[in-house]
Chains A and B, each alone.
Chain A
Amino acid sequence: MALLRFVPCITLAKLNNGHDLTQLIRAEYGLLVGSLMSMAGDLSLAEDALQEALAQALEQWPSRGQPKNPAAWILTVARRRLLDQFRKTKHRNADLVQQTLLNTHPTQHDDVYDNGECIPDHRLELIFTCCHPSLAPEAQIALTLKVVCGLSIGQIARAYLTSEAAMSKRIGRAKFKIKHAGIGYKVPHGAAMEQRLSSVLAVIYLIYNESYNAYEGQTLTQEDLALEAIYLAKLMHGMLPQSSVAGLLALLLLHDSRRSARSSKTQTYIPLKLQDRSLWDQNKIAEGTKLVKSALVSGQFGPYQLQAAISALHSNAQSWKSTDWLQIVGLYDVLYDIEPSPIILLNHCVALFYAGSLDQSYQKVIELEPQLRDYQPYHAAKAEMEAELGDLTAAKESYILAIGLSKNDAEKQFLARQLRGL
């Protein structure tokens, strides 16, 4: 589905089906909504105008042919719908829309088939608006997937295992708040920028993370959400090439480079340690590694840059054994300074373990138990250490605890296999 974003054009024969047209403009969806939003100041109005323009395209294109620049055609028609609406409601932006239409199309008649207008790019404003921290995180995610990525409410609802009605309500409430709470349609600057940017990056990161959780009944595949997240990260990086953005994009690319190695025909979950490294996508690794390097050269070591650097060390290691564990330990140290969480400490211990400090790291893991008792990866990591240390009884117990905490069938099967293999 997401791959269709990169299909530049489709044959007219398919246009009798609305679905195909939606796919056609999905690549331009955020661009069109972003541009319309700059005049509408209301995401519902902007999306409604866009939908009406799409309906008109469906009516006209099959007989008249597809315009030279379909997106520009749709934008013009949507602006006209917006103008109609604004005149009816005496909206203060009516003149602005009219002027814009006059500037781009001096004659009012319907023929905009030769329209070559370059669509003004407001996607950065759009993303910052959708990810405003005054919206609940789940609303930020849903809204971003809807208006920036152009996913349908049904697709988003299925991805997050909720009903279309509930998802529609969530998105509707977020649009209402944007319209009425004084959330400015702008790229933040100054002191607000850092917080606002971290909010945007968190949304992209969460969308990618969701792609890891393959719940039963989830029809939007993991791959789809991962592609959306990478698309958003690339979009952000193209418009705002800052160190943290480069770090996030690198992190996603590096994680994604291992996608086809994470599962096989017989196994649905294969952890990094046991993956066939020849299946890793070397293009993504090269792209991610280059981005990490450039992000670190800037001297800014935020959480995304550091996690990406760790991922890059894994990606560029020939084997699990020959991984540069000492450097990974060092990076987790720095990461812990920024984000002192027990989960980072756990990862730090695992790296320390494989760097050779077996007893010291295992002791530290034991000390983490009160904080991570309910965290499945804690018991899985502990079990693995215990198996390596030869304490099979303890390993068995830890695997059983891990299996009990896992919510994912593939993971459960993997852990059960490990348990049997002891």
Chain B
Amino acid sequence: MQFLALIYSSEGSEDVPMSELMGQYMDFGERAGAAGVVEGGNALQPIATATSVQIRQGKQTILDGPFAETKEQLGGYYLLQCKDLDEAIMWAAQIPTARYGTVEVRPVHNFG
């Protein structure tokens, strides 16, 4: 099954210096990669770069900012290939941001 691990945190809430955090992500990427779990993933630019688009009554509206202004923002994601939710949770718990933010795990909808 494919799972998307959505990485949420308050920007700047990391309790470690950026270089160390990068190291932790490299480390996670290597381990998860070696296990053949990671099918994709990226970090996102900060929410200051976010633009939201809506079409209502055929009219497109472009809004500055993220869709929902919450305390924790989506900062990146991994696409994981796992046997089941337990395995996905096991990997999600190892994403460095899980320690100060939240990682949401969602199965990818399979229309097949």
Residues of A within 8 A of B (CB): 132, 134, 180-184, 186, 188, 191-192, 196
Contacts and interface: CB of A to CB of B under 8 A. Distances in A.
B90 A182 contact: no
B84 interface: yes
B6 interface: no
Contacts, number: 27
Nearest to B93: A191
Interface in B11-50: none
Nearest to A128: B86
B90 A184 contact: no
B86 A184 contact: yes
Which 10 A-B pairs rank lowest in CB-CB distance, beginning with the nearest? A184-B84, A182-B85, A182-B107, A182-B1, A183-B85, A182-B84, A192-B86, A181-B85, A181-B107, A188-B86
A184 B83 CA distance: 8
B88 interface: yes
Chain A interface main SS type? loop
Contacts of B83: 184
A260 B66 CA distance: 60
Contacts of A196: 86
Contacts of A134: 85, 89
Nearest to A178: B85
27 contacts: A132-B85, A134-B85, A134-B89, A180-B107, A181-B85, A181-B107, A182-B1, A182-B3, A182-B82, A182-B84, A182-B85, A182-B88, A182-B107, A183-B84, A183-B85, A183-B86, A184-B83, A184-B84, A184-B85, A184-B86, A186-B84, A188-B86, A191-B90, A192-B86, A192-B89, A192-B90, A196-B86
Chain B interface main SS type? mixed
Nearest to A186: B84
Contacts of A182: 1, 3, 82, 84-85, 88, 107
Nearest to B1: A182
Interface of B: 1, 3, 82-86, 88-90, 107
Given A181-B107, A182-B88, 20 more contacts: A132-B85, A134-B85, A134-B89, A180-B107, A181-B85, A182-B3, A182-B82, A182-B84, A182-B85, A183-B84, A183-B85, A183-B86, A184-B83, A184-B84, A184-B86, A186-B84, A191-B90, A192-B86, A192-B89, A196-B86
B4 to A, nearest CB: 11
Contacts of B82: 182
A90 to B, nearest CB: 12
B84 to A, nearest CB: 3
B21 to A, nearest CB: 24
Nearest to A184: B84
Nearest to A193: B86
A180 B3 CA distance: 11
Contacts of A184: 83-86
Nearest to B85: A182
Contacts of A186: 84
Contacts of B85: 132, 134, 181-184
Nearest to A188: B86
Contacts of A181: 85, 107
B110 to A, nearest CB: 10
B104 to A, nearest CB: 11
A182 B107 CA distance: 7
Contacts of B86: 183-184, 188, 192, 196
B42 to A, nearest CB: 22
A41 to B, nearest CB: 11
A402 B84 CA distance: 48
A180 B85 CA distance: 10
Instruction: Among B3, B84, B88, find the residue whose CB has the most chain A CB atoms closer than 10 A.
Output: B84
Contacts of B3: 182
Nearest to A189: B86
A324 B50 CA distance: 65
Contacts of B89: 134, 192
Contacts of B1: 182
Nearest to B106: A181
Nearest to B86: A192
A274 B89 CA distance: 49
